[in-house]
Amino acid sequence: MSARAGPAAFLEARKLTRRFGSFTAVEAVDFDLPRGKVFGFLGPNGSGKSTTIRMLTGLLEPTSGSATGFGGLDVARDTEQWKSRLGYMSQKFSLYLDLTVGENLRFFGSLYGLTVSRLDERIRELSQRLGFTPLLPALTAGLSTGQRQRVALAASLLHEPELLFLDEPTGGVDPKGRRLFWDLIYELAAERGMTVLVTTHYMDEAEQCDRLAFILNGRIIAEGAPHDLKNGLRGRILEVTAPAGADPFEELSLVRGAPALEDAYLFGRRLRVVARPGEEAQAGRLLERLGSPAPAEPSLEDVFVSLARREPAVTEKVAV
Amino acid sequence: MKRLLALTWKEFLQLKRDPITLRLIVFIPVMQTLVFGYAINYDVKHLKMVVYDESKSVESRDLVSKMVATEYFTVVGHVASLGALRRAVDAAQASVGLVIDRNFGRDFHRGAPAHAFLVVDASDTTTATQAMSIAAGIGNGLSIEVLAQKAGWKWKQMPLDLRVRPWYNPDLKTASFVIPGLIAIILTFTLIQFTASAIVRERERGTLEQLQVTPATRTEIILGKIVPFTLIGLVQLTMTILLMRFLFDIRIQGSVAELYAVGLIFIAAVLGLGMLISTLAATQMQAMQMSTFFLLPFVFLSGYVFPIDGMPLVFQYVSRIIPARYFIEVLRGIILRGAGLGDLWRPVAWLSFYTVVIIGLAVARFKKTVT
């Protein structure tokens, strides 16, 4: 099933399962987080991304399965030590609104046992790096979403965690804020060897991860580097632009459901189809009425849609 | 320890930012002590009385002035008919009406009963009972005077001398009864609600989850709530004691240290109840409602206002599971009677027992709901 990433794995999740009553939120999930890499969890809402992260942070006990990491710790056994070495930024903003930014950072920092001088130094470093130094004496309640998100990131990085969990960190944040955010994450991963697990549904963010896992209905349906995941579809994506006289919606309804096609959808006047493996020629013929179809670069969205179509038949492991 | 300190510091910082809660912490004990101390008064004095005196004799005037001299009655008017007297009582211009028979002066010395009657507005039972017993006393006193005269009794004293000594509260001040118990009520009022809503607020805002991913243990997180609120409770306890001493002149007859020791046990019990509520309530609104649910039995079934001995048997049993009942017993014992823990071991033991049960339940439920 899962390829063991070998000695470089920083965290290993094995058969991780969580049930809530009769509902299985996460089912026997297996994966490795490689050290110093950014690992992305991609999947629709309710697919089990957050539940998985909550188990890995020690917030939620798994119904079964295990997670080991940090060179020999077990989340269930060494919970306190485990928690002291990870950082977590939740999807919901969770700093104290009635404290100032500085007070929030000082408070969370002291929970991690940082000395006063070290804490002051870290607060100075991080607030400069994330550009919120002038906000330190401000009440957190008055901050914008983007500002809060950068402060929350700083709070989760104060104790220099070796492992960082980001649960949909950039929802509602402007592009510039997102840039600042990701630059720091990649820098920390590359230079300090920090391992990162991030959940997102932004395709551009997913695109930049070193490795991705697609999650659907509590299971990992595919895992690999973004490039490799897309390779599986290379040559099977065809596009054609509907000519002036044609109604693109009508054309879409004509081809949709054809046995040669896995999927078909519109981008403006462009009709884009995913051919079934080995049916590329047949798919091309279907589109010829509209013009000459050209092969297109697969996107992660194509990959996800294509994989989701096959669910729950087989859990596929994309070759690396 | 360092983490507990940080958690406590955080709680006080938040309190500092919340001037309304901060004021409530001070305002509630002061207000309640003033209101309950002054307003609750079972000694009904200066009842308004209208007089319909048909006799207009020396004796009838003597009766009226004897009643006024007790300070329990004040004449607010004289009327000339029974109908007018009835209207005055109906309209609540007076709560007592005195009717003196036309032949009162003559009959008084003849041995034929001299008639007078008193109507009392009994819609308020406390007032009515008191007015009735005092009026009866005056009637008896006057009769005895006449009898003594007729019998030629020449000594100053009455043949029987039964003296009543009101121990512990010689002036029979209601405040002495009300205020010591009030300490329990004030702590209950403020602490249950503050604790419950402080925890629910953290859960609502997601900060509880953020705390839980830090290395802080659940015990530390729970203590991080208990320690600051215990300190608040001690401040309120001290404030109420000072008001009681200097405003109502009620001195603590027993040991102050023992009072604080038992006070801490009770504070732990109400904080535990607050925590228990926080595990059941999903929103701050629900937490408030549930707190109220506990407040009423604490006030009415704890013996704070109504004596437990006067309750129907069922409610006497119910009152046994109310921790405030035992704390009030201890408060009155230490403050008014100067009792020591040796005398009060029974209520202290029960209070401690319920405190352990409540905290145990709260911690167990708290651990379940936060994971």
Amino acid A7: pLDDT = 53
Give the nearest partner residue to B18 out of A58, A94, A98, using CB atoms: A98
Whether chain B has a CB inside 8 Å of the CB on A171: the answer is no
Q: Which percentage of chain B shows pLDDT scores above 70?
A: 97
**In this complex, is the C-beta atom of B12 within 8 Å of any C-beta atom belonging to chain A?**
no
Of B92, B121, B151, the residue that ends a domain is: B151
Q: In the structure, what pLDDT confidence band is assigned to residue A315 with cuts at 50, 70 and 90?
A: very low
Q: Give residue B137's pLDDT band: very low, low, confident or very high (50, 70, 90).
A: confident
**ipTM of the complex as predicted:** 0.81
In this predicted model, what pLDDT tens digit does every residue of B68-114 receive, in sequence order?
988 889 999 999 999 999 999 888 889 899 999 988 888 887 777 88
Bond from prior residue into A312 cis (ω within 30 degrees of 0): yes
Q: Do A90 and B3 touch (CB under 8 A)?
A: no
A90 in a domain, yes or no?
A: no
Cα B359 from Cα A176, distance rounded (Å): 49
Question: Count of A–B CB contacts within 8 Å?
Answer: 68
Contacts of A57 in chain B (CB under 8 A): 213
Q: Are residues A184 and A282 in the same domain?
A: no
- pLDDT for A311 beyond 70: no
Same domain, A253 and A148: no
What per-residue confidence (pLDDT) applies to A83? 92
pLDDT digits (tens, 9 = 90+) for A6-41: 456 899 999 999 999 889 999 999 999 999 999 999
Q: Which two tokens stand for residue A54?
A: 């909550």
- One domain, residues A249 and A289: yes
Binned at pLDDT 50, 70 and 90, residue B326 comes out as: very high
User: In the block, which residue shows the tokens 């054609």?
Assistant: A240
Confidence of residue B369 (pLDDT cuts 50, 70, 90): low
How many CB atoms are located within 10 Å of the residue A204 CB?
A: 11
DSSP state of A4: P
Look at residue B165 and tell me if it is in a domain. no
The answer, yes or no, to whether residue A276 has pLDDT greater than 70, is yes
What is residue B283's DSSP assignment? S
Q: Is 50 exceeded by the pLDDT of residue B200?
A: yes
pLDDT tens sequence across A235-246: 888 888 888 888
Find the CATH number of the domain harbouring A21: 3.40.50.300
Is 90 exceeded by the pLDDT of residue B350? yes
Same domain, B142 and B207: no
Is the residue at B112 inside a domain? Answer: yes
What pLDDT, in 10s, does the model give residues B212-269? 899 998 888 888 998 999 999 999 999 999 999 998 888 899 999 999 999 999 999 9
Residue B66 CA to residue B60 CA, distance in Å, equals: 10
Q: Kindly state the average pLDDT of the residues A55-81.
A: 90
Q: How many domains does chain A have?
A: 3
Residues spanned by the domain of A107:
97-155
Taking the Cβ of residue B207 and every Cβ of chain A, the question of whether any pair is shorter than 8 Å is answered with yes
Which DSSP string do the residues of A224-261 spell out, in sequence order? Answer: E-HHHHHHTTTT-EEEEEPPTTS-HHHHHHHHTT-TTE
Please name the residue ranges forming H helices in A193-243. Answer: 203-207, 226-231
Same domain, B216 and B199: yes
Of A58, A83, A94, the CB nearest to B207: A94
Residue B158 lies in a domain: no
Residues A50-75 have a mean pLDDT of 91
Number of compact structural domains in chain B: 2
**Nearest-5° Cα angle at A204, A255 to A310:** 40
CA distance linking residue B214 with residue A87, whole number of Å: 8
Q: Which of residues 13-72 of A touch B (CB under 8 A)?
A: 57-61
pTM for the full predicted model: 0.78
Residues B222 and B266 in one domain: yes
User: Could you say which of A83, A98, A107 has the minimum Cβ distance to residue B215?
Assistant: A83
Share of residues in chain B with pLDDT > 90 (%): 32
Domain that holds residue B122: 47-151
Q: How confident is the model at residue A1 (pLDDT cuts 50, 70, 90)?
A: very low
Looking at B88, B120, B151, which one is the last position of a domain? Answer: B151
